[in-house]
Structure 1
Amino acid sequence: MTFHDFNFNEQLLEGVLSMGYTTPTPIQEKTIPIILNGEDLIACAQTGTGKTASYLLPVLNYISNTHKHQISALVLAPTRELAQQIDQQVEGLAYFTGISSLAVFGGGDGMAYEQQRRGIQNNVNIIIATPGRLIAHLTSGVLKLNHITHLVLDEADRMLDMGFQDDIMRIISYLPKKRQTLLFSATMPGRIRTLAKAILTDPQQINIAISQPAAGIDQQVYRLHDQQKTPLIKLLLKDSAYASAIIFASRKEIVKSLYKELKAAHVHAEAFHSDLQQGEREEILLKFKNKLLPVIIGTDALSRGIDVEGIDLVVNYDVPGDPEDYVHRIGRTARAATTGTAITFVNDRDLKRLKNIEQLIDRPISQKELPEVLAGIQPVKQERPHGGAYGDKRRRPNRYKGNKPKPASN
């Protein structure tokens, strides 16, 4: 099957072919005919499978054939990075069609908000937005969504994880009841099905390769304690085989601390976290994408908001609490049929999480021997809640204040 078989609008097909697309991916092959047929859809597919184009192409085809200068499609995304990424794909695919799009997200200054407001007033064809900022424009009265024909929820599971369910339902209250709704999610927990039941009408369902890492990923595990993690990172990054690497940590405080350690070790890296200004985040991603920055350190916001080919190494500095997040993290490497390495640091507290991951991917992960040079690094003793290290024989403070109560007499 080729993209010619979908009978797309001529200008749209020209854009598709100019971007080097020839053969649709499995998710595209299954979903595009359903969307072209006007049916609601629930599609379950992980990142890196081509899901963005699978909904953008039929939506762009519809807008190309109707020639209406109005806001016809709304795409909701959980993060600003994903919203920008989708907007960039629209720009490429729709290059010859004259279709316009606008990314709407928070985190910028007043000038960014004003630019978004002007873009809305110009009646772009497609808005790609994070829920919070979209609601701000809706409540201001500048944004009207009464002509929407297509609503897309991309990475719906992540939006619910981030607490956007009420915002999503509020946004939907502004939309026409007669519309085509498409829900894309990497996982399909019960609450996603509940949401789908509330907002979709007789949807078709497609499931593609759920929660299975790409075959080209060499998955490895190192058993170690926390004080060995950063020294091991430094050793790994000295390996010239890794020209491009992402390090995932569980919290932005760890991201900042690790960045300082690597900077002191003369490793060219940048920290990516929510405390940065939007312009700073965009600059880091652009440098990383253009191979001007070899190492980027971030939290799970990066795992679904970055689409860069040629990443050689992904390191899980911390084991993610959700096994699905592990799949998304390591899915940053071995994209587009390439190969890559994914290394996970596992301490004693994380053994259960590792077991859950191995159950999810239905295979054990290869355990690597820790370099001998790290063997002498000792773990830091944990402090007891009432003072003193574990193993300290000092008496714990008496929890009673004043005199002990006398035993009752018989």
Structure 2
Amino acid sequence: MRSQLEVVKRGVHIVVATPGRLKDLLAKKKMNLDNCRYLTLDEADRLVDLGFEDDIREVFDHFKAQRQTLLFSATMPKKIQNFARSALVKPVTVNVGRAGAANLDVIQEVEYVKQEAKIVYLLECLQKTPPPVLIFCENKADVDDIHEYLLLKGVEAVAIHGGKDQEEREYAISSFKAGQKDVLVATDVASKGLDFPDIQHVINYDMPAEIENYVHRIGRTGRCGKTGIATTFINKNQSETTLLDLKHLLQEAKQRIPPVLGELNDPMEDGDAITSAQRIPPVLGELNDPMEDGDAITSASGVKGCAYCGGLGHRIKDCPKLEHQKTMAIAGSRRDYFGSGGYRGEV
């Protein structure tokens, strides 16, 4: 902190900070925002998702004059939209393409690979393009296993995840950026906020549970007008909701739909299924049903697919993310009522 303060005291035009460190410096009155006119939040959805909303609001309170606030993100789920409405004055939304859409410069290839065959097939996928290649996994154990496997096979690889210390992470990132290492194996810590130049190929060893994480991951390649390849392994471990979202994302980007996704029963496409299954009385048949007509609900609300998370393969009533948020809220309210140690009675 001392070295950072020395730089700030000399006078700066721009400060780039994490919310925690900035809040700390402001609370200790080591710096102030009296002359600051612009506040930019990069990956704003991620900051709100990770629970930094209160920290950001505290930073807002330190501004003395009028400010302009800019929120940048590749995806705009409901949570960040609500934050923008409550924290900003008359916010203006600027969309470059659809929020949450995949980059059209990325060739998306989705392949069905059995769980036990994935690590062997990984070597074949690495032959598709020259390095550098980025491999994403869902958990730390898989990152370590793949890293070890690639080293044994003679591949120059490094790994980063939340369990590694800062020194290991910095070495991995700097050697990968410098071209000394060909492959970086990582969890979602590398899916946002890190800019690696000229990534040729992104491999999703595990398909993420939420489609917005998939969009962020494949966005590591195909940057600045260059084209890139994203290969994703899927199997029966993925939920049908996630696969339907992926199918619609591929359709929107005009990519090849693999047969395993094409065969999925899609409620968004098949509005006439109920009509063919049973006779509907004329009086009910004349009713305007927005659930049957996907285009009607889109034109009315301006929202494709799910209004909460932005997924294209389901509506808000089937949203797994919303369901998870509700479960967490209920669990939180139960803890508040009963206390962490169970029932809190009075004697």
When normalised by structure 1's length, the TM-score is 0.58
Matched, 1:306 2:194: yes
What's the secondary structure of 2:102's corresponding residue? coil
Matched, 1:263 2:151: yes
**Contact 1:247/1:296 (8 A) holds in 2:** yes
Distance 1:214 1:186, change over 3 A: closer
- Residue 72 of structure 2 aligns with which residue? 184
Distance 1:120 1:205, change over 3 A: same
* CA offset digits 1:72-120 (Å, max 9, x no partner): xxxxxxxxxxxxxxxxxxxxxxxxxxxxxxxxxxxxxxxxx22122223
* Distance in 2 of aligned mates of 1:310 and 1:196: 33
Amino acid of the residue matched to residue 165 of structure 2? Answer: Q
1:241 to 123, 129, 139: 129
* Distance in 2 of aligned mates of 1:244 and 1:218: 16
Distance 1:318 1:365, change over 3 A: farther
**Contact 2:250/2:256 (8 A) holds in 1:** no
Matched, 1:355 2:244: yes
- How far 1:176 sits from its partner (Å)? 2.1
Amino acid of the residue matched to residue 124 of structure 1? Answer: V
Amino acid of the residue matched to residue 323 of structure 1? Answer: I
What's the secondary structure of 1:247's corresponding residue? strand
More strand by share: 1
Give unpaired runs (5+ residues) of structure 1: 1-112, 370-410
* Distance in 2 of aligned mates of 1:191 and 1:230: 36
* Distance in 1 of aligned mates of 2:3 and 2:139: 32
- What is the aligned residue count? 256
* Distance in 2 of aligned mates of 1:338 and 1:120: 37
* Distance in 2 of aligned mates of 1:357 and 1:177: 45
Give unpaired runs (5+ residues) of structure 2: 261-347
- Residue 322 of structure 1 aligns with which residue? 210
- Residue 174 of structure 1 aligns with which residue? 62
Distance 1:216 1:208, change over 3 A: closer
- How far 1:177 sits from its partner (Å)? 5.0
**Contact 1:218/1:340 (8 A) holds in 2:** yes
1:341 to 210, 226, 229: 229
**Contact 1:217/1:333 (8 A) holds in 2:** yes
Matched, 1:227 2:128: no
* CA offset digits 1:210-266 (Å, max 9, x no partner): 2333333221122122211111112322x2733210001112222122212222222
> C-alpha root-mean-square deviation of aligned residues, in Å?
2.2
Distance 1:317 1:181, change over 3 A: same
**Contact 1:181/1:199 (8 A) holds in 2:** no
1:209-228 equivalences in 2 (<5 Å): 209-210=97-98, 211-228=100-117
**Contact 2:43/2:193 (8 A) holds in 1:** no
**Contact 1:219/1:366 (8 A) holds in 2:** no
- How far 1:319 sits from its partner (Å)? 0.6
* Distance in 2 of aligned mates of 1:340 and 1:360: 17
1:191-206 equivalences in 2 (<5 Å): 191-206=79-94
- Residue 61 of structure 1 aligns with which residue? none
**Contact 1:248/1:299 (8 A) holds in 2:** yes
Distance 1:133 1:275, change over 3 A: farther
**Contact 1:269/1:296 (8 A) holds in 2:** yes
- How far 1:342 sits from its partner (Å)? 0.9
- How far 1:306 sits from its partner (Å)? 2.1
Matched, 1:143 2:34: no
* Distance in 1 of aligned mates of 2:259 and 2:222: 20
What's the secondary structure of 2:16's corresponding residue? strand
- How far 1:351 sits from its partner (Å)? 4.9
**Contact 1:358/1:365 (8 A) holds in 2:** no
* CA offset digits 1:14-70 (Å, max 9, x no partner): xxxxxxxxxxxxxxxxxxxxxxxxxxxxxxxxxxxxxxxxxxxxxxxxxxxxxxxxx
**Contact 1:121/1:142 (8 A) holds in 2:** no
Amino acid of the residue matched to residue 189 of structure 1? Answer: P
